[in-house]
A and B are shown apart, each in its own frame.
Chain A
Amino acid sequence: MKGEVLGGVGLQMSRDDNVVTAIDDVEAGAVIPYDSGEVGVEEAVPFGHKIALVELAPGDEVHKYGEVIGRATERIEPGQWVHTHNCRSTRGRGDITDGKEEVA
């Protein structure tokens, strides 16, 4: 598979990605070795879902596949679950007008 599985927990598809994909159901307390340190998983994350490797501020880009998959809508700590509750698409938004997007 493309990318690298960090600590048997999460798949980092591309080296610059700031999230990993859980390759099995992950319990809180699991440890992901990252950037010569480690990230403690803060909550249970289901198989296939994403875990933040770094701290993200509202509006920060979320990277997977080495590409932008959306922006954080709230502050996300390393080890937290990243999904629709704290990350949103920037595309196909008929409910907002260009340049007036609110991410917070």
Chain B
Amino acid sequence: METFAGFDRPSGPAGVRNYVAVIPVSVAASAVADAIADRAGEQVHSTPHQMGTDPPEQAREQIERTLSGIGTNPNVGAAVVVELGTESTDADAVADAIADAERDVEVLRIRDRGGTSAAVEAGVEAADRLWADIAGLERTEQDASQLIFGVECGGSDATSGIASNPAVGRACDRLVEDGGTASFSETPEFIGAEHILADRCESESLRERLLERVDFRESAAQLMGVDLRGAQPSPGNQEGGLTTIEEKSLGAIVKGGTTAVRGLVDYAESLPVGGGLVLMDTPGYDIESVVGKVAGGAQIVAFTTGRGSTTGNPIAPVIKVTGNPKTAERLASNMDIDVSTILEGESIESAGDRVYDLLLEVASGERTAAELRRLEEFAINELQPNELAQLRENA
């Protein structure tokens, strides 16, 4: 059984990082959250986003679910929740969810503090206080089965389906074999490959639910009377040799490996520990999609890229994997592992084992290229009108 050196939490699986999260509930509190994290110590990370102060009810639920998930991610030891004071998104509900996971949490209201300067001051003090309580925590040996591994692809090209995604898929298979959880998402990028995933679903009800979700995402294009081809594959994907969404999807789904599909959760919904391969229903935007899985509990992410994406995440380390030899060379400082060697004859098993070894090293504290450069992109998926309508219908 593989192990890593991680941080015990009072509840839930071990963390691979030990952070104080500063979580704004709206765009109106995001600048203050950023300022707090900038001034507090290096272990204090903010999650700024663009969500408004009074979103529709279903959107608000998704924002609260996402922020609660971020605050209870195993990498978060304590949190400060920041609000302006006018938001319908409930800072106290988010804080309660974090407290329920037995993490220390404080709520900071900018208006109550008498403005942004005083709020930043108070926020830095709170973050320092919370950090002092968790700073002494040391890494101990943890079973790999506690890991929830989020996998993502972005800036895909033809090498994604040939090299980087199969290599990461092999690492997912290794982790699932060791009792852990692997998750990938981006439902629009199941289109044309959904029959393969459907055949691997553990139950008939799961299979039906998966196909319904794919239909919904595909019909979204129909509903708007537009051709999905304008966006899928993207112009960059096309330049990289991907002609159709089917081709992109067939290359994309291999990043989840070859094991049975054991579940399908909503955006930012909790991913099970020891859950095998679990899909998350998300749109096809990399950063939102990574955030959804981190809010679902993923402690660590692998992000494959052919053309070269540099994005990270404030809460979970993001391992950059490329199968494109030109990108491996040109963007060497932003890549963590080069599996373009597969094109030269390295087996997928061997390259995938290197990814799995790196996963355990990063879980144990080795910093990724995105972490070293403090690339910490964060965005929450904003529900579109047709999605809100469907959620209202199902309510």
A residues near B (Cβ < 8 Å) are 1-2, 11, 13, 21-23, 46-50, 62, 64-65, 67-70, 82-84, 87-96
Q: Check B162 against A13 for contact (C-beta < 8 Å).
A: yes
- Rounded to whole angstroms, the CA-CA distance of A13 and B161 in the bound complex is 10
A89 neighbours in B (Cβ, 8 Å): 192, 228-229, 243-246
Q: Check B225 against A84 for contact (C-beta < 8 Å).
A: no
Q: How many residues of B contact A (CB 8 A)?
A: 41
A47 neighbours in B (Cβ, 8 Å): 158, 241, 326
B residues near A (Cβ < 8 Å) are 157-159, 161-163, 166, 188, 191-193, 196, 218, 221-229, 232, 238, 240-241, 243-247, 250-251, 306, 324, 326, 342-343, 345, 347-348
Give which listed residue, A2, A64, A67, A69, contacts B166 with CB less than 8 A: A2
A50 and B192 contact, Cβ closer than 8 Å, known pairs A2-B166, A2-B348: no
Q: Check A94 against B158 for contact (C-beta < 8 Å).
A: no
- Rounded to whole angstroms, the CA-CA distance of A47 and B177 in the bound complex is 35
- Rounded to whole angstroms, the CA-CA distance of A13 and B244 in the bound complex is 16
B243 neighbours in A (Cβ, 8 Å): 50, 62, 69-70, 82-84, 87, 89
- Rounded to whole angstroms, the CA-CA distance of A53 and B234 in the bound complex is 26
Q: Check B241 against A50 for contact (C-beta < 8 Å).
A: yes
Report whether over half of chain A's contact residues are helix, strand or loop; otherwise say mixed.
loop
Q: Check A46 against B241 for contact (C-beta < 8 Å).
A: yes
B241 neighbours in A (Cβ, 8 Å): 21-22, 46-50, 83
- Rounded to whole angstroms, the CA-CA distance of A90 and B221 in the bound complex is 13
Q: Check A69 against B162 for contact (C-beta < 8 Å).
A: no
Q: Check A95 against B342 for contact (C-beta < 8 Å).
A: no
B306 neighbours in A (Cβ, 8 Å): 48
Give which listed residue, B229, B232, B240, B324, contacts A88 with CB less than 8 A: B229
A1 and B245 contact, Cβ closer than 8 Å, known pairs A84-B238, A89-B229: no
A70 and B159 contact, Cβ closer than 8 Å, known pairs A48-B240, A94-B227: no
